[in-house]
Structure 1
Amino acid sequence: MDLHDFLYRHELDRRLSRLYGDPAASDEDWVTIPQDAEAARALLGTVSQLTGHRVFARIARCALTAYERYASPQTASSYPLYRDTALREAFGDELETAYLDWAAIILEAVRFQMGDATFGSFLRCVVEADEAYAARAEERAAAGV
């Protein structure tokens, strides 16, 4: 595991701990993350390893966008259709990106495993962790660290 992976995973762990922990708990309290979330994190880690983190971050954003469209009260279609549309919008001609089809399959497995009720919150943690990590990386680069 390189430093990037370690720092991103640390950020994701913090966010997942807040998601699944007692709201009254302190940051130091131990939080047991449910098995489905642990499995989802491992599956999405596979996507990250297959595609590289930059592509993975775009895929995660697509998955969240698709979920938000799917969860909308005006929804008339299925999550896979919204997911595929969001991927096409984000990647356009890059749909030949290595492993993108596998990423879609893994996302569907994660959604199915977690259920719609928790899938969106989990994805939000993934995307927010990436955004926080990217902001910290920019700060470190600006500081010359």
Structure 2
Amino acid sequence: MKSFSISPVPFDIAPLRERLLDAHAGAYASFEGWVRDHNEGQPVRGLAYEAYVALAEAEGERILAEARQRFAITAAACVHRTGELAIGDLAVWVGASAAHRGAAFDACRWIIDEVKARVPIWKHERYATGAADWLHPGG
């Protein structure tokens, strides 16, 4: 089963969380990234994400494999949206389970930071002024 996926449609986090349950896990941490109404001082009307799906999923799997080696976690998963998203929509979810909360929290933060830095996903933000801008990982 894939640990990282790109989703062109909204997704439910409950089944994703269930996949992380483990008798050895005493902790679970998650991160949800939502579309906000501003960026760098500009009001945002909406955005679209595009990805090179095959490469994005391969790099995402590498990141999650690295997380499992770096942190004392039992499992981790991540899903990132593509397509048109409105203000408030869920754009990305990360979850990690571990014996202890510290590892789960640390892995979660590391995973989202690495996804934003390394995975080929581009964000096309549309501003209230009528302007638009493409942002790449890290943005």
TM interval, short-chain normalised: under 0.3
Normalization by structure 1: what TM-score? 0.26
TM-score, normalising length from structure 2? 0.27
Q: Give 1 or 2: higher helix fraction.
A: 1
